[in-house]
């Protein structure tokens, strides 16, 4: 349930409501909008109904939230969340471009890619230091050495770093080096890890699970939000279906659906979504046309020699051309008003 404060309610009025709710052992999250403040309530509905909240002069109404994800819903937070990463805002008026190799392979490789991403107009550098691979015999990443190379690339280019955190144990190490913590598809329902990053003061890029429903995805985001971390970026990366000509089925339906249900920014990973580089530019354009706030793509100077995911990695030249294409799509759709984020009813 949520408490909608009247326009002009003072901080003291909000604190009165918060104190009343906390006094009954209920969890509370306050969202301050441009005109009104909303107080989200976490806990049994019965406890809320016992309280005389609507009788307070500063309260406009108490509204039940029908979705199981409360803090992630637009009912709790009607306006879009915007997340500052370095000098760039995810979910703002500019398309977000995140690019880099699947795995950090060497110092020279990541520095070359980082410089190219910056030159092409990218906003963040992605790269895996610890790699979850289907086979235990595949390249597993360089570990902390890879993180150090990523940090050096950030220093050289100014690009914030996005890298995947694998487990609770490695989180303290990741926090030393990484600007955005990525939760991979296989860890979307690793609840101890979600709770841990919920306590971190870092943006989290939460990828949709391989077979997860949209509701399950948003419930995973809810774990992070409930822990106190409001900086969640959702990432659609394809789901498993019966189709075998692509690695996964890129579910672009999820972009407008999530934007209808949630205030969180949503980006798309077409590299994992299709698994074949030749389809990545087309699906990138489609994702932006569908309203995605950004893209995260895999690139490599020589994909044929990549230690992981070379088949889905764009060359640097193909990446630069794709960036120009998706920017034109972004400008065309936003300028024409074709993308609209309907409020839930």
Long-range contacts of 142-147 (CB under 8 A, 24+ apart): 142/103, 142/104, 142/105, 144/173, 146/103, 146/104, 146/110, 147/173, 147/174, 147/176, 147/177, 147/178
Per the listing, tokens 């046309």 go with 289
Query: Where does the pLDDT of residue 322 fall: very low under 50, low under 70, confident under 90, or very high at 90 and above?
Result: very high
Answer yes or no: is pLDDT of 137 > 80: no
Nearest to residue 110, comparing CAs of 125, 88, 92, 123? 125
For residue 83, which phi and psi values (nearest 5 degrees)? -120, 120
Mean pLDDT of 107-120: 97
Answer yes or no: is pLDDT of 158 > 50: yes
Measured between alpha carbons, how far is 70 from 83 in angstroms, rounded to an integer?
Answer: 19
Q: Is CATH 3.20.20.140 the right assignment for the domain spanning 83-336?
A: no
Which range (79-88, 115-124, 176-185, 333-342) has the least confidence?
A: 333-342
In terms of average pLDDT, the best of 54-58, 85-89, 335-339 is: 85-89
Answer yes or no: is pLDDT of 43 > 70: yes
Answer yes or no: is pLDDT of 184 > 90: yes
Architecture of domain 2-63 in this structure: 2-Layer Sandwich (3.30)
Q: Can you give the pLDDT at residue 345?
A: 43
**What is the pTM for the complete model shown?**
0.88
Query: Where does the pLDDT of residue 343 fall: very low under 50, low under 70, confident under 90, or very high at 90 and above?
Result: very low
Which range (39-53, 141-155, 257-271) has the least confidence?
A: 39-53
Mean pLDDT of 154-168: 97
**Which residue ranges make up each domain of the chain?**
2-63, 83-336
Measured between alpha carbons, how far is 94 from 231 in angstroms, rounded to an integer?
Answer: 18
């Amino acid at each position: 349930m949520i408490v909608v404060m009247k326009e002009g309610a003072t901080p003291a009025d909000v604190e009165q409501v918060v104190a009343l709710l906390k006094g009954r052992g209920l969890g509370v999250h306050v969202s301050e909008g441009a005109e009104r403040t909303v107080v989200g309530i976490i806990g049994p509905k019965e406890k809320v109904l016992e309280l005389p909240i609507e009788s307070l002069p500063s309260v406009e109404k108490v509204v039940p939230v029908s979705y199981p994800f409360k803090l992630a819903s637009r009912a709790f937070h009607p306006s879009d969340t915007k997340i500052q990463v370095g000098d760039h805002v995810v979910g703002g008026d500019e398309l977000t471009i995140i690019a880099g190799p699947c795995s950090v392979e060497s110092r020279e490789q990541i520095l070359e890619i980082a410089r190219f991403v910056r030159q092409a107009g990218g906003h963040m550098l992605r790269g895996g230091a610890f790699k979850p691979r289907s086979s235990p015999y595949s390249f597993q990443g360089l570990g902390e050495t890879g993180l150090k190379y990523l940090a050096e690339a950030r220093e050289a280019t100014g690009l914030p770093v996005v890298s995947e955190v694998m487990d609770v144990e490695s989180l303290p190490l990741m926090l030393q080096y990484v600007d955005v913590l990525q939760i991979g598809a296989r860890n979307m329902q690793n609840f101890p890890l979600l709770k841990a990053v919920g306590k971190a003061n870092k943006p989290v890029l939460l990828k949709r699970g391989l077979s997860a429903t949209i509701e399950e995805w948003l419930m995973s985001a809810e774990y992070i939000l409930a822990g106190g971390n409001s900086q969640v970026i959702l990432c659609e990366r394809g789901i498993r279906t019966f189709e075998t000509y692509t690695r996964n089925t890129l579910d672009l339906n999820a972009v407008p659906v999530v934007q209808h249900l949630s205030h969180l920014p949503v980006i798309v990973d077409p590299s994992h979504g299709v698994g074949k580089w030749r389809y990545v530019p087309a699906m990138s354009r489609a994702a932006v046309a569908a309203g995605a706030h950004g893209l995260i793509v895999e690139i490599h100077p020589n994909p044929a020699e990549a230690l992981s995911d070379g088949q889905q990695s764009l060359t640097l030249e193909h990446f630069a051309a794709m960036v120009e294409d998706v920017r034109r799509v972004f400008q065309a759709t936003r300028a024409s008003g074709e993308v609209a984020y309907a409020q839930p009813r």
